[in-house]
Structure 1
């Protein structure tokens, strides 16, 4: 069937629900094309919509090659890999998929914290390796109760994390662009000061050029040798090299990381540290949440094609 609507898939995330679009669009798969340049030369002027994610994004260069592009649908809440300035200049609409992933990311955040504090990965191996015996129990570990959690970025996900941490009887403080007067948590206008007051520093803010390495070496040093870092946002927010150095030197207590600066590459040094828990950017990676993200991303695209208001418009 020939369609007047042409969709370019920059990422494969839409594939599981592609039938919702195939009746309305001619689908072109950029993400696995052997010759991407030839594909764009062939169909670039036909593309009205791009489907992408927060990692693959959509560059100004690609937009320049799609002269009739009207919309970019992003599968994910983060859209830092999309050139938003270029989209605005060109009048291209951009959507993302907020809210539907907040619970899943908040759950993983808490899970990473418990895994690090209670040394669950090591305890698991202790049992599997038959080291447990009547005379050899696993060493005592830490707990979250009574500790202070400093949240960097009290947005949708940050608030869900805060609610869960309160259930764990933790004290919650936060730093962000604005003091949210309707929230019950103590606000710190200075990130370094908040880190110094925290047992746990939890990074949940969006990544963009203005926030690159916002968790700097001074911030990490303020968190200190008994403090723990959690990152479920973007690897670019952390000075990763400084973090590794401080962990190795014992000047940072521990880290639980779901994201990294150059994914899927992970610094080898982190893989050998017992005070580090690693996760493969899996914050939203549950069956229910990914289905919800896909449905919302596709609903935004269909709304655009039907001339209806976009559901979650960024630009």
Structure 2
């Protein structure tokens, strides 16, 4: 008999088919489906698959008496009640490393698009506006990039930055001994130094509004901020005010506090480039994440340690 898997987040048809080869799949990707799926199948669920922005609550965990493994499809697990799960003897794992390159690529796409004003230039070109009627867009290269969170994704962003001849600085909870980049003990100091700031830190209460009005003002009227982490890390209202008032030059956001709804405060601003939380989405990255989950689950159900335990 196949173990029962409860999937609480979106999966493509081919990945549902892949998982159904190993599991009895209970697929409940929408928030309003979670309670019904747990009520109907909760007593039999052995494994849960979710994502960091959805997570799983202590109450939901307690309604799954047979569960022994909870996995995040990607690296983030900020809304998974990890301590509660572990207190019940449940193993928690994630997909760390499976989409890092894709996210780092997207971060640089947003940075270039925001700094060079590519979406605005596309609109102007389609309207017949020639370059002589437009302001000169700045260089990306030969400037300073500050990375908030130098984990595996942050390090890949830094690696790409070197290809643009950017000076790299970073803020972490502590300095890393394995990199030569300049370390800053707080985000405001990093912002004062940087021309561009890229947010790559985990989400959760500990980083909520880490990038606030003070930090945005430190980045300054020629500064740009990119967020490929979690929307909660940037104070959206403060960002909108800074952009409207010219205290910040621009932003590129793949994540925002209101998602999946777009950030209403930013929609009228052509200095912002928005994408719908697809930084970690590519055929290669998503397949690698699903494969990692399958291997994490296979090892766990065989009595082994998962590839990437939390």
Matched residue SS, 1:73: strand
Q: Cα RMSD (Å) of the superposition?
A: 1.8
Shift of residue 137, structure 1, vs aligned partner = 5.0
Change (3 A) 1:188 1:38: closer
Shift of residue 183, structure 1, vs aligned partner = 0.4
Correspondent of 2:126 among 121, 128, 151? 128
1:27 aligns with 2:25: yes
How many equivalent residue pairs? 310
1:307 aligns with 2:303: yes
Normalising by structure 2, we get a TM-score of 0.94
Change (3 A) 1:128 1:88: same
What is aligned with 2:171?
175
Q: Is the 8 A contact 1:8 1:29 kept in 2?
A: yes
Change (3 A) 1:274 1:50: same
Structure 2: stretches of 5+ with no match in the other structure: none
Question: Aligned ranges for residues 66-81 of structure 1 at < 5 Å?
Answer: 66-81=64-79
**1:265 & 1:195 partners in 2: Cα distance?**
28
Matched residue SS, 1:193: helix
1:161 aligns with 2:157: yes
Shift of residue 173, structure 1, vs aligned partner = 0.4
Change (3 A) 1:32 1:212: closer
Correspondent of 2:147 among 131, 148, 151? 151
What is aligned with 1:267?
263
Shift of residue 35, structure 1, vs aligned partner = 6.2
**1:90 & 1:231 partners in 2: Cα distance?**
35
1:254 aligns with 2:255: no
Q: Is the 8 A contact 1:76 1:293 kept in 2?
A: yes
**2:167 & 2:203 partners in 1: Cα distance?**
26
Normalising by structure 1, we get a TM-score of 0.93
Matched residue SS, 2:145: strand
What is aligned with 1:197?
193
CA deviation profile, 1:18-53 (whole Å, cap 9, x unmatched):
344323322222335976545433321111111112
What is aligned with 2:44?
46
What is aligned with 1:227?
223
**2:31 & 2:222 partners in 1: Cα distance?**
48
Q: Is the 8 A contact 1:13 1:52 kept in 2?
A: no
Q: Is the 8 A contact 2:237 2:265 kept in 1?
A: no
Matched residue SS, 1:174: strand
Q: Is the 8 A contact 1:192 1:222 kept in 2?
A: yes
Change (3 A) 1:253 1:35: closer
Shift of residue 188, structure 1, vs aligned partner = 0.6
Structure 1: stretches of 5+ with no match in the other structure: none
Q: Is the 8 A contact 2:236 2:265 kept in 1?
A: no
What is aligned with 2:137?
141
Q: Relative to structure 2, which stretch is displaced further, 39-48 or 85-94? A: 39-48
Change (3 A) 1:32 1:225: closer
